């Protein structure tokens, strides 16, 4: 259950950030480091109400996320795998990566808010 809740929180957080358009899709390319300074790349497509998250850095499969339905694994060709027997394996593979990314997005959100406040304060002071 933690996998579903935290992944849905992650895709909701993406709504705070700008995206590119590709056809009808919203696209986010997210680059972030871990504590050891190893860089990761997540590619997220949103088509209609479904998010497709791919871990580009390792070339493995991805996640298909429908906020009102849940989280499913995708195989490396992008097709959803509806028969995920063990959410534990999925959680083991994705939670550390998603948690690092989510914490980086939180830091960026805080910095962005502080910059906006500084700009507004500067404008009002002049």
Listing DSSP states for 78-105 in one string gives S-EES----HHHHHHHHHHHHHHHHHHH
Q: What CA dihedral angle connects 55, 89, 103 and 22, to 10 degrees?
A: 30
Check residue 50 and give its pLDDT.
92
pLDDT at 47: 93
Residue with tokens 């959100």: 109
Averaging pLDDT over each range in 51-60, 74-83, 94-103, which range is the top one?
A: 51-60
Q: Going by C-beta distance under 8 Å and a sequence separation of 6 or more, which residues neighbour residue 46?
A: 11, 14, 19, 25, 26, 27, 52
pLDDT for the residue numbered 46: 94
> Using alpha carbons only, what angle is made at residue 93 by residues 21 and 60, rounded to the nearest 5 degrees?
55
Answer whether residue 82 shows pLDDT above 70: no
For residue 93, what pLDDT is reported? 67
- Cβ within 8 Å of residue 75, ≥6 positions away: 61, 81
Q: According to the model, what pLDDT value does residue 77 have?
A: 55
User: Which one of 18-22, 32-36, 120-124 scores highest in mean pLDDT?
Assistant: 18-22
Whether residue 59 is predicted with pLDDT greater than 70 in this model: the reply is no
Band of pLDDT at residue 88, cut at 50, 70 and 90: low
* Burial class of 69 by CB neighbour count within 10 A (0 to 12, 13 to 18, 19+): exposed
Residue 52 has a pLDDT of 92
């Amino acid at each position: 259950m933690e996998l579903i809740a935290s992944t849905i929180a992650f895709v909701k957080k993406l709504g705070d950030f700008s995206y590119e358009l590709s056809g009808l899709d919203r696209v986010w390319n997210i680059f972030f480091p871990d504590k050891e300074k190893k860089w990761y790349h997540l590619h997220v497509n949103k088509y209609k109400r479904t998010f497709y998250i791919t871990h580009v850095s390792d070339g493995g499969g991805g996640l298909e996320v429908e906020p009102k339905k849940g989280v499913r694994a995708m195989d490396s060709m992008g097709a959803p795998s509806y028969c995920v027997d063990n959410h534990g394996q999925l959680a083991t593979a994705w939670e550390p990566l998603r948690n690092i990314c989510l914490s980086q997005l939180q830091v960026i959100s805080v910095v962005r808010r502080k910059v906006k406040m500084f700009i507004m304060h500067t404008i009002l002071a002049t």
